[in-house]
Structure 1
Amino acid sequence: MWFVDDGRQFHAFYLKASRALIDPDRRHLRASVGHAVSDDLHTWTELADAFVPSDGPAFDDLAIWTGSVLRGPDGDWRLFYTGCSRARPEVQRISVARSRDLLTWTRDAGAPVLEADPTWYERLGDSAWDNETWRDPWVFRSGDEWHMLLTARARDGEPRGRGVVGHAVSTDLDRWDVRAPLSAPDTGFGQLEVLQLAEVEGRLVLLFSCLGAELSDGRRATDDRGGIWSLPVDSPTGPFDVGRATRLTDHRWYAGRLVEDRAGRWNLLAFRNEDDDGAFVGGIGDPVPVTWDGERLVLAGYDISSGMAPHARHRLTGE
């Protein structure tokens, strides 16, 4: 899921699939993008779905996965998104759609489809990893350039430790150059999902998610469940020392995003992955305030070691 503030309302975009699939794991290859709006981040009104897989054959004719939305200098809103195809469902690629109103989205016919560059990044078949990891684009401006952070995997390293922060750069939001990753492999993570960079209380933080099954053996020895992770950083364009990341939540919450409310407070909104009994939930929880505790970003009033889940209600069905 991802959020954007248009100055009047907050817009939530989130992945959704039919519960008639029964098995929650089947949702990944049936996903489209839902849309809801809110005045306060608590009460949401669901709108028509924002974006669905394209008519085939195309790189995105099977499923649409996580992305990010921003407004370009030309006034158009841009939705950078992940696409999977029926022809090669294991391969993930990135492209963009445009909108004038955040409601109706049109694929940008002239936009390139961004792929992992084998100079730096693992491609399908380079290891036993079951997909070509190149997804979850987070786009922001720094200086005179636009930067895209991506969930990616390095070409080398221990199989469950190859997760890195992928990187691409653009001067115009249209043409993108894939660059070397902004972090090193072998820091304990097989993948760094749903990356986000934010400035909370004057300090930059990198947020990502990784569950226990995708952690390296070394990290699993001390933390075998994973969840949402945070990392204080000095520069928006790295390098990022991902090995210093600490858990913000446990595995019951996932794919979290930091959102600033109207009062200037930063909050975590996260996907409710599991309930206290381990059953799949599939919803988006209420906002939980965040703050700094020394070098750690923490949830106000939430202690991971206590096992207490923050704001267990969920307002939207999706992730």
Structure 2
Amino acid sequence: MSSILPRSQFIPLFALLLLHFAPAEIQGQNEGNLYASRFQPPGMWIWDNWFVHDGDQWHAFYLQVPKAIGKERRWKNNDLFKHVGHATAKEAPTGQFEWKNSGPALFALPGTWNDRHIATGSIIRHEGKWWQFFTGRGINGDGVGLALSDDLNKWNTEPAPLIPLIDTFAETAEAPYESVWQGETRHWAGISDPYIYPKPVDGWFYLVLCSRILDVPIEESGCLTLMRSQDLKNWESAGIMAWPRCFERMETPQLLHRPDGNWSLIFGGVVNSDWAKQKENQHAFPDAVRGKGSHKNYVYHFPTEFLVPAKDEHLHHIATPPGHYYIMKVISLKDTPDRSDLAFFTATEPDRGSVLSEPFRVKHLPEGGIELVRIQTESE
């Protein structure tokens, strides 16, 4: 495998065409008050957002595919088309962010280990550079990839994955890791969605993965696991964080240090609805999940520290407004003295499809749950 890819390397024609859809213009201002701060780049569907602040403005990254490929290929059979997009916005304590499209940020490229597509990731600042950890899919295997940048615009991808992953729907797989959960040794593998906590804790960087327990039916295999590293390149298992045995997947996690000093672990829960209807009354489903259906947002509460197994009684459903709001990510405003938190989602509209949602104020509840408060616009 070659070293970091030179900028002169061949780029597929469709990637060059996508660069055409990168005007620095404000999007999402024509849908009335509700959609005032929503965003969708021209010609794209977007979803699974992650954010970082550079000291001057916010940067949103997200998965995107061109609408030109057609709805039937929006979620599958879209190798090389699915990639990471980028937008920026000045902080707006009023909540009315005006996102400006910065175009594509990362692609899967032929001739690399990541030659199929890219999926969700996260970014931190370390040693003068930006480190973007992402889900990489390849013909010869999947993994957590790493790309480095000086300015959040131009990225150089490392030549090999850092952590092995398996395909989301793999029927069989080798287990690269084993951990003890409730007194039993469990074999597990990461699937996707690396979330890197931005600061080291006791000398270690921690990364949360959407993972699967491999010796149980897929309907109950979804779990969240923890990796740790001291240099951000060499990683080891730090165990299973959460396994409630009711999700196929626990997607796009985010670990938050709450204002009260406790911790929250946010994720999106994918449930096999037919299986759940049969199992809810005979299986020990957490109360927070019972009857909720699939693709809902949840938060685990960790009193005092997160390096302990999550408890079902500390799992809370996050209620959202009518409509489809999924994949919640929280940012902490930099220019407010009380460290106000805002939440963004992937929202779905009848005409435009999936977009970056308007923000909501986050209220951290004493028992560990989260309440969302809609931000009123000036005209309301």
Q: Under a length normalisation based on structure 2, what TM-score does the superposition of the two structures give? A: 0.68
Q: Determine the C-alpha separation between the residues in 1 that align with 2:170 and 2:225.
A: 13
- Contact 1:17/1:27 (8 A) holds in 2: no
Q: Tell me what 1:80 maps to.
A: 133
| Per-residue deviation, residues 26-85 of structure 1 (Å, max 9, x unmatched) | 3864311111111126111111311111222x331111100000011x211100000112
Letter in 2 for 1:293: L
- Contact 2:254/2:266 (8 A) holds in 1: yes
- Contact 1:210/1:229 (8 A) holds in 2: yes
Q: CA deviation at 1:174?
A: 1.4
Q: Tell me what 2:65 maps to.
A: 17
Q: Determine the C-alpha separation between the residues in 1 that align with 2:62 and 2:233.
A: 24
Give the direction of change, closer, same or farther, for the CA distance of 1:133–1:169 in structure 2 (3 Å limit).
Answer: closer
Gaps of 5+ in 2: 1-48, 175-188
Q: Tell me what 1:292 maps to.
A: 364
Letter in 2 for 1:139: I
Q: Tell me what 1:102 maps to.
A: 152
Q: Tell me what 1:281 maps to.
A: 353
Q: Determine the C-alpha separation between the residues in 2 that align with 1:97 and 1:180.
A: 25
Q: Tell me what 1:248 maps to.
A: 318
Q: Determine the C-alpha separation between the residues in 2 that align with 1:167 and 1:193.
A: 14
- Say yes or no: does 1:173 pair with 2:246: no
Q: CA deviation at 1:123?
A: 6.3
SS in structure 2 of the partner of residue 270 of structure 1: strand
Letter in 2 for 1:248: I
Q: Tell me what 2:44 maps to.
A: none
SS in structure 1 of the partner of residue 162 of structure 2: coil
Give the direction of change, closer, same or farther, for the CA distance of 1:28–1:204 in structure 2 (3 Å limit).
Answer: farther
Give the direction of change, closer, same or farther, for the CA distance of 1:36–1:300 in structure 2 (3 Å limit).
Answer: same
- Say yes or no: does 1:209 pair with 2:268: yes
Q: Determine the C-alpha separation between the residues in 1 that align with 2:113 and 2:308.
A: 30
Letter in 2 for 1:269: F
Question: Among the aligned pairs, what percent are the same residue?
Answer: 21
Q: Determine the C-alpha separation between the residues in 2 that align with 1:28 and 1:164.
A: 26
- After TM superposition, the structure 1 = structure 2 runs for residues 113-152 of structure 1, keeping only pairs within 5 Å, are 113-116=162-165, 124-125=171-172, 134-140=191-197, 141-152=200-211
Q: Determine the C-alpha separation between the residues in 2 that align with 1:75 and 1:142.
A: 19
Q: 2:143 aligns with which of 77, 93, 103?
A: 93
- Say yes or no: does 1:2 pair with 2:50: yes
Q: CA deviation at 1:104?
A: 0.4
Letter in 1 for 2:158: D
Q: Determine the C-alpha separation between the residues in 2 that align with 1:114 and 1:139.
A: 13
Letter in 2 for 1:53: A
Moved more, 213-222 or 232-241: 213-222
* Count of equivalent residues: 287
Q: Under a length normalisation based on structure 1, what TM-score does the superposition of the two structures give? A: 0.80
Q: Tell me what 1:39 maps to.
A: 90
Q: Tell me what 2:258 maps to.
A: 200
Letter in 2 for 1:107: T
Letter in 2 for 1:6: D
Q: Determine the C-alpha separation between the residues in 1 that align with 2:194 and 2:311.
A: 20
Q: CA deviation at 1:124?
A: 4.5
Q: Determine the C-alpha separation between the residues in 2 that align with 1:294 and 1:157.
A: 35
Q: Determine the C-alpha separation between the residues in 2 that align with 1:213 and 1:268.
A: 26
Structure 1 runs of 4+ aligned residues shifted over 6 Å read: none
Q: CA deviation at 1:116?
A: 4.4
- Say yes or no: does 1:62 pair with 2:134: no
Bigger Rg, structure 1 or 2? 2
Q: Determine the C-alpha separation between the residues in 2 that align with 1:28 and 1:152.
A: 23
Q: CA deviation at 1:243?
A: 6.2
Moved more, 26-35 or 201-210: 26-35
Q: CA deviation at 1:287?
A: 1.0
